[in-house]
Amino acid sequence: MTVKQGFAPVVNADTRLLICGSLPGDRSLAEARYYAHPQNRFWHLLGGAADLPGLPALPYDERLAALLARGIGLWDVAASGRREGSLDTALREVERADLRGLAARLPLLRAIAFNGGTAARLGRKAMRGAGDIALIDLPSSSPAYCAITPAEKQARWMVLRPWLEG
């Protein structure tokens, strides 16, 4: 199995909400950008929750700038891991990212949302006992997660709205 490395966090001093996936998939790694697979609904789901309907159509750098302007950061709970393909079920030998350390460096951070079950399991373990930061489990934006409809995914991602208010 191939060792895959995650990306640096996309955050700034104004980050109030951090959204964490597990580890970038092959397409994202190849393009060196978060949520690059065209069937991944991340940008649509977050655009709906953050009231940024045009988010998916923006160039990647502008998407990141729009998130940072709204106090939203991105990262992954795994710094690296062995995995063939992109599915979280194939993830082995995970080296955890220093989620707690990053949270301590973000003075306005109020919540961490986990994009999918693997991210939630690893992220909640990392943040156990870390204080007053809310931890939010979201259904995965991955096309591989089809246990609920896209409309239900969007409805469940709307739980982020209170964390986006200044």
Catalytically active residues, by annotation: 40
Report helix, strand or coil for 117.
helix
Question: Alpha carbon of 143 to those of 73, 124, 160: distances in Å?
Answer: 22, 23, 20
The packing angle between helices 150-157 and 42-49, to 10°, is 50
For 82, phi and psi rounded to 5 degrees?
Answer: -95, 130
- Distance set, CA 29 to CA 37, 48, 104 (Å): 10, 25, 27
Judging by beta carbons within 10 Å of its beta carbon (0-12, 13-18, 19+), is residue 60 exposed, middle or buried?
middle
